[in-house]
Chains A and B, each alone.
Chain A
Amino acid sequence: MRYLKTSEAAALLNVSPNTLRAWERRFGFPKPQRSPGKHRLFTHGEVAALRDALQEGLSISSAISRAREGLAADANSLVGALASYDRERADAAIEAALALRSVERSVEEVLLPTLDEISRRYTVESAAWAFAAHWATDWLRRAIRLTPPPVRQVSIVVGDASRDELDRDAPYIRALELFCVRAGIKVLSLSARGVAGIGDAANVHRPNLVVVAGGHLDDDTVARWAYAIRLAVGAMPLAIYRRGAERPRTRVTGTAVLPSGAGDAHRTLLDLLESDHVATTPSASAAAAGAHVQLRSASRSSP
């Protein structure tokens, strides 16, 4: 993946850096990532696609629309490959997406929308979904394995409350894990069913935050799991992800509801980890004490 700084991207498009930033504000495209120093990093593929579209465009909007359509073709080809049970074509489609985007954006803009489309088109009971979900989980796990070791002194424990890999939430949970691992966070992912020995695992891992992800397991099971961790390592902040409580809620005791999108959830999680809330445990202890109640109330309020 080749990245361009603002000045490089502007030079490629033959515009000023200010114009490029104006396009980002007005059109949301090209959409840069941020370097560790918070500088904009544009993917070469997006900038090149926009440059080509500008040659034939009647306005910046129509050129951006055309460039976006070209990039969306990757998702269409992945849907086609998975719907025809062609693993090689699916691998090639995601590789093509990766040539134009970062891993995070490939997952957010191609892989997860593809799975949503397949589940919508064929339902989660279908063979097409079974094939697609298995392929996606396999790909995400492989991407996690290939990520360099964590560099931050931050770790999280993910309590997986999804049914299995055919659960619609499962790819989103794997995607969140991938994003966290790629951000240098140590991630321990365990099924929220397994309470026995969870204390030992938590003692070894020493998490800064616990994420309960998935909506299949009932509240009592999840609460027992969270309580076992609390007994082992003490109180800590808790976040819930894709447990059916996506609407905005007022945080009163520290239990955060992460957005349903993997990228948004990852960014919210980073904010939580970097906030003083995590570092200072007094308020966190109140959070964990209310974890059981929060989980129950959040799930009860879900549709």
Chain B
Amino acid sequence: MLDRHSTDARPSLRLVAPAELEPAVPSVAFCSHCGTRPSTPTEHTAPGSRVCGECGLGLILEAAEDIAPRAGDAFLVLDRVLSVCAVSRGAERLLSTTEPVAVNRHVTELLMPAAAEEKRGESLSVAVAWAARGDGGTRTTTVRPANTFGIRLTARIAGCGPPRAALLVLE
């Protein structure tokens, strides 16, 4: 039982030493359509422009290096209400759709949760909502293409931006 008069038991702020923090994962830039990573923010883009100079069909976003896609990867960018905001070229091929068609649709029109039998899998919608809200870390879940059974894909989900959104990389 806590002693109410004891100063040790009272909640208090404590200075955390830098050594105790998790090492910060550097963020890298990537194109929201082709996935190309410009090594410097202005390498492929005109000064002041966010448009990818490589493909011209995507905007340059940033994400943590451990999840940021590479050229040709299949990934989606989703907002906090689970609407599709961007579809990579790889995801267009994988899901048999095009970005202009998929944008503004609900993610479940492209991907369905398939984590029922996954003990460690997280809910797709929760993972996306947390990531789009800016919660750190990468979550993993299992999905399948909508209206397609028998195919399961691992989805890694983390935040990206700006503006703040969720990045869902399919593997």
A174 to chain B, nearest CB (A): 33
The 4 A-B pairs at the shortest CB distance, nearest first, are namely A59-B86, A19-B56, A14-B49, A58-B85
7 inter-chain pairs at a CB distance below 8 angstroms, sorted by A residue, are A16-B46, A16-B56, A56-B163, A57-B85, A58-B85, A59-B58, A59-B99
Q: Is the CB of B59 within 8 A of A15?
A: no
A65 at the interface (CB under 8 A from B): yes
Q: Which residues of B contact A19 (CB under 8 A)?
A: 51, 56
The answer to whether A144 has its CB under 8 Å from any CB of chain B is: no
Within 8 A of B (CB), among A1-57: 13-16, 18-19, 22-23, 26-27, 54-57
Contact B56 A18, beta carbon cutoff 8 Å: yes
User: Which residues of A sit under 8 angstroms from B103, Cβ to Cβ?
Assistant: 59, 61-62, 65
Q: Which residues of B contact A (CB under 8 A)?
A: 32-33, 46-51, 53, 56-59, 61, 77, 79, 85-87, 99-100, 103-104, 161, 163, 165
Number of A interface residues at 8 Å Cβ cutoff, please give it.
22
A contact residues around B50 at 8 Å (CB):
54-55, 57
Distance in Å from the Cβ of B129 to the closest Cβ of chain A?
16
Taking a contact as CB atoms closer than 8 A, the residue among A16, A26, A54, A62 that contacts B85 in the complex is A62
Q: Are B46 and A14 in contact (CB under 8 A)?
A: yes
Which of chain A's residues have a CB closer than 8 A to the CB of B99?
59, 61
Given known contacts A58-B77, A59-B85, is B51 in contact with A65 (CB within 8 Å)? Answer: no
| Cβ contacts under 8 Å, A60 to chain B | 33, 51, 57-59
**Is A63 an interface residue, CB under 8 A from the partner?**
yes
Closest to B161 in A: A58
B57, A22: Cβ atoms closer than 8 Å: yes
Give the residues in chain A near B48, CB-CB below 8 Å. Answer: 14
Nearest B residue to A64 via CB reads B100
Q: Do most interface residues of chain B lie in helix, strand or loop, or is the interface mixed?
A: loop
* Tally of contacts, chain A with chain B, CB under 8 A: 71
**In the complex the two chains form, what is the Cα distance from A68 to B53 in whole Å?**
24
Shortest distance between the CB of B56 and any CB in chain A (Å): 4
In the complex the two chains form, is B163's CB within 8 Å of A59's CB? no
Query: Once bound together, how far apart are the Cα atoms of A26 and B92, in whole Å?
Result: 14
Q: Which residue of A lies closest to B85 (CB)?
A: A58
Nearest-CB distance from A33 to chain B (Å)? Answer: 22
Known contacts A22-B56, A65-B104; A59/B46 CB under 8 A: no
**CB within 8 Å of B: which of A131-171?**
none
Given contacts A14-B49, A15-B49, contact A58 B104 (CB under 8 A): no
Q: Which residues of B contact A61 (CB under 8 A)?
A: 85-87, 99-100, 103
9 more CB-based (< 8 A) A-B contacts, given A60-B57, A65-B103: A14-B46, A14-B49, A23-B56, A54-B50, A54-B59, A59-B33, A59-B86, A60-B51, A61-B85
A59 partner residues in chain B, CB cutoff 8 A: 32-33, 58-59, 77, 85-87, 99, 103
A5 to chain B, nearest CB (A): 18
- The distance in angstroms between the C-alpha atoms of A56 and B59, with both chains bound, is 10
**B163, closest chain A residue (CB):** A56
Chain A residues in 8 Å Cβ range of B77? 58-59
Q: Is the CB of B51 within 8 A of A58?
A: no
A residues less than 8 Å from B47 (CB atoms): 14
Asked whether A26 and B100 contact (CB < 8 A) given A54-B59, A58-B165, the answer is yes
Closest Cβ–Cβ distance, residue B163 to chain A (whole Å)? 6
Q: Which residues of A are found within 8 Å of B53, using beta-carbon distances?
A: 16
Residue of A whose beta carbon sits closest to that of B32: A59
Distance to closest chain A CB from B88 (angstroms): 9
State how many angstroms separate the Cβ of A56 from the closest Cβ of chain B: 6
For A57, the chain B residues whose CB sits under 8 A away are 50, 59, 85
Compute how far the CA of A55 lies from the CA of B162 in the bound complex, rounded to whole angstroms: 9
A58 pairs with B57, CB closer than 8 A? no
Query: Are A27 and B51 closer than 8 Å at their CB atoms?
Result: no
Give the Cβ gap from B34 to chain A, nearest Cβ, in Å: 11
